[in-house]
């Protein structure tokens, strides 16, 4: 089905307003002949006359009266399209699903929801809680739109915007370390290492900093995420590498102590991860810029 052009509808609306083709032609900067040809083309396209014309009077037909409100709405919609493209209508409403680790979500992301709604009122943010590898997989497959994570990745299908630096500390409960010291690498044989999974993603921040160091632990305990890891370390069940922001208060209270304090683990960064080539990158940049205003806690 061939649709009428915006220019033809504009001519029709002006003719209905002025009830005079000559005046209407001047309003759209056309010659009377060109204006009349536009109206004739529109009528031919629609298969019905839109005006009854005499030498002095132009009156809309029933078909013309029926078309008029829709033609006006169409012109307004076309004008809105132009204003939207120019950014004159403000940002369009956007709904995103943001993935995050449970602990980080509770301590850092949730408190930001109200400030985000105030600063980015066009953005509706939903949350999904999961582990690092789960978050990356769900972003990659499109199940969630983006995620905040410090998980390492080299997937070319993912892109990221750097947020806050994340520092790590190698810690154990003060009570455990008084009973079973951990002052040298070989003392690892008397301790259980607690980590999230079998590939030791958190202890890697120590291992990669000191590739020549050799740690042989008595046991490896895998707990899936950092919240349970912190709880078990506080209970004296083992030692672990944990985010500094998560155990800052524990260190200040001296319920946790640093293991091998001269051996500083590598740092990393929280990143806002999304699919490479996602056309919403500018939206993710706005979200990341706002999130950067809130320090980790």
Q: What is the 3-state secondary structure (H, E, C) of 58-75?
A: EEECHHHHHHHHHHHHHH
Percent of the chain with pLDDT over 70: 99
Say how many CA atoms lie within 13 Å of 118 toward its Cβ.
Answer: 6
Alpha carbon dihedral 19, 20, 26, 28, in 10-degree steps, equals 40
Read off the pLDDT band of 115 (50, 70, 90): very high
At residue 10, does pLDDT exceed 90?
yes
Confirm or reject CATH 3.40.190.10 for domain 94-166+269-291, answering yes or no: yes
Read off the pLDDT band of 238 (50, 70, 90): very high
Quote the tokens at residue 150. Answer: 């410090």
Return the higher-pLDDT residue of 209 and 121: 121
Question: Once rounded to an integer, what is the mean pLDDT over residues 162-187?
Answer: 95
Confirm or reject CATH 1.10.10.10 for domain 6-85, answering yes or no: yes
Pairing of strands 240-243, 58-60: unpaired
Read off the pLDDT band of 43 (50, 70, 90): very high
Structure confidence at residue 89 (pLDDT): 66
124 vs 120: CA distance, rounded Å = 9
Structure confidence at residue 295 (pLDDT): 86
Mean of all residue pLDDT scores within the chain: 92
- Domain made up of 168-266: CATH architecture: 3-Layer(aba) Sandwich (3.40)
Contacts of 62 (CB under 8 A, 6+ apart): none
For the whole model, what pTM was predicted?
Answer: 0.64
Counting every residue, how long is the chain?
A: 297
Quote the tokens at residue 232. Answer: 């078990």
Residue for token digits 């005079």?
20
At residue 123, does pLDDT exceed 70?
yes
Least confident of 46-50, 52-56, 291-295: 52-56
The total of other beta-carbon atoms located within 10 Å of residue 70's CB is: 10
At residue 4, does pLDDT exceed 80?
yes
Alpha carbon dihedral 12, 14, 19, 24, in 10-degree steps, equals -110
Fold matches, 6-85 and 94-166+269-291: no
At residue 90, does pLDDT exceed 80?
no
Domain boundaries, the chain: 6-85, 94-166+269-291, 168-266
Which range in 84-88, 142-146, 206-210 is most confidently predicted, on average pLDDT?
142-146
Pairing of strands 240-243, 123-129: unpaired
Percent of the chain with pLDDT over 90: 77
10 vs 158: CA distance, rounded Å = 46
Q: How many helices (H) and strands (E) does the chain have?
A: 12, 12
143 vs 286: CA distance, rounded Å = 21
CA 48 to chain centre: 50
Question: Once rounded to an integer, what is the mean pLDDT over residues 33-49?
Answer: 94
Structure confidence at residue 87 (pLDDT): 74
């Amino acid at each position: 089905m061939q649709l009428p052009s915006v220019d033809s509808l504009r001519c029709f609306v002006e003719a209905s307003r002025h009830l005079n083709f000559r005046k209407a032609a001047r309003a759209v900067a056309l010659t009377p002949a060109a204006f009349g040809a536009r109206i004739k083309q529109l009528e031919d396209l629609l298969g019905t006359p839109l005006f009854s014309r005499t030498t002095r009077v132009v009156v809309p037909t029933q078909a013309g009266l029926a078309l008029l409100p829709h033609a006006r709405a169409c012109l307004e919609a076309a004008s809105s399209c132009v204003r939207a493209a120019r950014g004159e209508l403000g940002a369009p409403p956007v709904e995103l699903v943001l993935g995050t680790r449970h602990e980080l979500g509770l301590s850092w992301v949730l408190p930001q929801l109200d400030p985000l709604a105030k600063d980015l009122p066009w953005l509706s943010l939903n949350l999904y809680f999961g582990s690092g590898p789960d978050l990356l997989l769900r972003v990659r497959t499109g199940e969630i739109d983006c995620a905040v994570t410090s998980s390492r990745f080299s997937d070319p299908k993912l892109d990221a915007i750097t947020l806050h630096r994340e520092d790590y500390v190698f810690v154990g409960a003060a009570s455990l370390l008084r009973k079973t010291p951990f002052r040298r690498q070989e003392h690892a044989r008397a301790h259980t290492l607690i980590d999230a999974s079998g590939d030791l993603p958190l202890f890697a921040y120590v291992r990669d900093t000191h590739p020549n160091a050799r740690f042989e632990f008595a046991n490896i305990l895998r707990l899936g995420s950092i919240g349970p890891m912190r709880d078990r370390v506080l209970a004296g069940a083992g030692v672990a590498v944990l985010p500094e922001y998560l155990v800052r208060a524990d260190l200040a209270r001296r319920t946790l102590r640093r293991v091998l304090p001269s051996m500083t683990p590598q740092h990393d960064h929280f990143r806002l991860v999304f699919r490479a080539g996602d056309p919403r990158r500018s939206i993710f940049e706005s979200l990341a810029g706002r999130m950067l205003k809130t320090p980790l806690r």
